[in-house]
Amino acid sequence: MRYRTLGGTGIEVSTYCLGAMMFGSVGNPDHDDCVRIINTALDQGINFVDTADMYSAGESEEIVGKALRGRRDEVVLATKVHFQMGEGRNRSGNSRRWILTEVEESLRRLGTDWIDLYQVHRPDHSTDVEETLSVLGDLVREGKIRAFGCSTFPAEQIVEAHHVAERRALPRFRTEQPPYSVLARGVETSVLPVCRRYGMGVLTWAPLASGFLTGKYRKGGPIDLTTGRAALTPARFDPAIPTNAAKLDAVEQLVELAEEIGCSLPELAVAFAAAHPAVTSVIIGPRTQAQLEGLLKGAPLTLDDAVLDRIDAIVPPGADVYRPDGVWRPPSLTDTALRRRPVAERAAA
């Protein structure tokens, strides 16, 4: 396992980060099995674990907490806050009120006195970023968190946050967690360059493109839309949809490339993400022991320029074959009132 410094934090982390999204009711409900997977990852040199309060409604954090008993000091532990937790108002977002409440719940579920990296899971248009940075800085001073970052923020909001931090003399985001894979390279255009500009650590998610880079889904092969992840969101996997057909076309070329250099498609996919100079660590999110072991085989793999050039020919730099699942969409696109003048104004114009 290789290690890199996480931005300007001085914290060394493994280039593979164990993602815990699949631990719990959403993925693997067997707590003992999940604990074994986590301990196997630690035994193989991974020292970076990422979870979130909303993964399986807190169950993932509880599982990670169980696994780290007696090993807490070995691990750089990351979790996230933002999404709705339970019923009622003011139980989500990036406000001081909610962050102060939810960090205590995460600490309790994780069974720890501190979180190494506390991340804001998505932007919150209803909260001034100054308020968010201020409360996160307070938590650092209190010793409840060591550093903080953001996740899936567009480049312009990362820049705004750094500008506000400088103007108001506040601590700043030290990391960003964007989606990044061979099939979703859009962050290469601005997000990753902005992170390098500000010396931020980057831990990327979805290197396997929601399963398309596992080799499970192949052009012309059967794709069962009634089971597993495909049953939950069939539109993401239906080969009759042009975007999915484009994914499958790219996969065929990538499978051929992986075979030529003697590795598996998942190994190629993770090594690609780790090759970008802005990327510190790549989050792998296994659901089973076998999946973890398959991914760990690729840890020593380094792609040379010739291979990266071949990948660029298949999916050009900065291009998205598909829009990654779960990417934040600004209110300017989702709220029609923000992109349409009132009817009376349109008629008078």
Q: Which residues are catalytic?
A: 55
The rounded distance, in Å, linking the Cα atoms of 25 and 320 is: 30
In this structure, the chain runs to a length of 349
Asked whether 188 and 317 are in contact (CB, 8 A), the reply is: yes
Question: In sequence order, which residues have a C-beta less than 8 Å from that of residue 322 and are 6 or more positions away?
Answer: 183, 184, 209, 243, 244, 246, 247
Beta carbons of 158 and 195 less than 8 angstroms apart: yes
Number of neighbours of residue 143 by Cβ within 10 angstroms: 9
Judged on CB neighbours under 10 Å (0-12, 13-18, 19+), 189 is middle
Q: Give CA–CA dist 78/248, Å, rounded.
A: 33
Q: How many C-beta neighbours within 10 Å does residue 340 have?
A: 10
**Which amino acid, 158?**
I
Name which of 8, 289, 319 is nearest 182 in CA terms.
319
Greatest C-alpha distance within the chain: 70
* Amino acid type, 21: M
- Alpha carbon separation from 160 to 126, 203, 294 (Å, rounded): 15, 20, 40
